[in-house]
Amino acid sequence: MGKADLHTHTNASDGDLSPEELLEKAKSKKLKTLAITDHDTIKGYLKAKEIAPDFGIELLSGVEITALWNSKEIHLLAYNFDDEDHPFRNLLLKQRTARKLRMQAIVEVLNAQGLDIDYEEVLAEANMGNVGRPHAASILIRKGYVSGVAEAFIRYLSSEKLKGVRTNYASIDEVIRVTKDANGVISLAHPGRLYSDGEVFSLIEKGLDGLECIHPSHNFSTQRKFTALAKSRNLLITGGSDYHGTGKSEYDPYLGIVTLGDQYIEAIKRTSENRRRIVNVVN
């Protein structure tokens, strides 16, 4: 049995490492299977796909999509989708634009609080990758407004502090539909600290295929609770380290440590292969 990590980020979104550097690191941690799940982009995955065999790593297609559910931003993980599927690619393009518009609005909120930060410098920090709040945090740190990422989120960037900022992210229904139409599977990211039990049930009813049971934010009892729930509902079990780079987030030490047994990968593949077969029969 090998180790899998189905939740990692590269510099195509808010991670520090290039896809190649991440593969190198994954190899050094003896991972057999990897999914790069950047925020709303598969550019890092597509780069890694070409070279993953050189590292002896099996790479699944992956992406972490921000979706709107009851006006809340939630994270969904999509896996094993057809990476050339047009509606899926279009969804990600729209998400990229939604991220930019949202960052413009966030910068306005920060400016109104007297902070000297501008949108162009946040975009430059993202360096062509998909922009996100961690890029704004880096600038606030550099300018001395806060001492670290955690403080940046507590004081300025949490969803609580940015409540007035409206976003154009896709709805959960659209994300689930488009992912399944691309023969992908969809899992609820890091549910542990975010939702009540009732909310998790409502989210499952939306048509999720799986739950991210294994995540650094889950202690052992949370992990057990979600694993039992997934089994009882016949849902896929997914998991990973949510690695963003070196010292960037509290989860970063967990690459190679918070892992998923690779027997779960077969179930994920089977679910999306079944989706492909059903489409073929219908056609």
Q: In the set 6, 7, 11, 14, which binds Zn ion (CB under 5 A)?
A: 14
Is the Cβ–Cβ distance between 117 and 107 less than 8 Å?
A: yes
- 119 contacts: CB under 8 Å, gap ≥ 6: 103, 104, 107
From residue 14 to residue 53, the character string flagging contacts with ligand AMP as x (rule: CB under 6 A) and all else as - is x------------------------x--------------
Alpha-carbon span 213 to 179, nearest angstrom: 20
Is the Cβ–Cβ distance between 213 and 230 less than 8 Å?
A: yes
Q: Which does 249 bind (CB under 5 to 8 A by kind): Zn ion, ligand AMP, Fe ion, none?
A: ligand AMP
Q: How far is the CB of 194 from Fe ion (least distance, A)?
A: 9
Q: Does 190 help bind ligand AMP (rule: CB under 6 A)?
A: no
Burial class for 100, CB neighbours closer than 10 Å (0-12, 13-18, 19+): middle
Which among 190, 211, 207, 189 is positioned nearest to 268, based on CA atoms? 211
Q: Does 62 help bind ligand AMP (rule: CB under 6 A)?
A: no
**Stretch binding ligand AMP (CB under 6 A), from 84-92, 132-140, 194-202, 210-218:** 132-140
Alpha-carbon span 211 to 236, nearest angstrom: 6
Is the Cβ–Cβ distance between 212 and 258 less than 8 Å?
A: no
Alpha-carbon span 161 to 185, nearest angstrom: 32
Cβ-based nearer residue to Zn ion, 151 or 252: 252
**Stretch binding ligand AMP (CB under 6 A), from 146-154, 166-174, 219-227, 275-283:** 146-154
Query: What are residue 35's DSSP bridge partners?
Result: 60
Q: How far is the CB of 22 from Zn ion (least distance, A)?
A: 14
Give backbone dihedrals phi and psi of 86, rounded to 5 degrees, phi first: -65, -50
Q: Does 244 help bind ligand AMP (rule: CB under 6 A)?
A: yes
Q: In the set 212, 242, 259, 264, which binds Fe ion (CB under 5 A)?
A: 242
**Stretch binding Fe ion (CB under 5 A), from 72-80, 153-161, 198-206, 212-220:** 72-80
Q: How far is the CB of 184 from Zn ion (least distance, A)?
A: 20
> What type of residue sits at position 210?
G
Q: In the set 33, 61, 238, 249, which binds ligand AMP (CB under 6 A)?
A: 249
Alpha-carbon span 229 to 103, nearest angstrom: 36
Q: Which tokens go with 263?
A: 């027997």
**Stretch binding ligand AMP (CB under 6 A), from 55-63, 127-135, 175-183, 195-203:** 127-135
From residue 198 to residue 237, the character string flagging contacts with ligand AMP as x (rule: CB under 6 A) and all else as - is ----------------------------------------
Q: Does 75 help bind Fe ion (rule: CB under 5 A)?
A: yes
Q: Strands 58-60 and 31-36: what pairing?
A: parallel
Secondary-structure percent of the chain, ordered helix, strand, coil, rounded to 5: 45, 15, 35
Binding stretches for Fe ion (CB under 5 A): 64, 75, 189, 242
Residues that bind Zn ion (CB under 5 A): 14
Q: Using CB under 6 A, list all residues that contact ligand AMP.
A: 14, 39, 66, 132-134, 149-150, 153, 244, 249
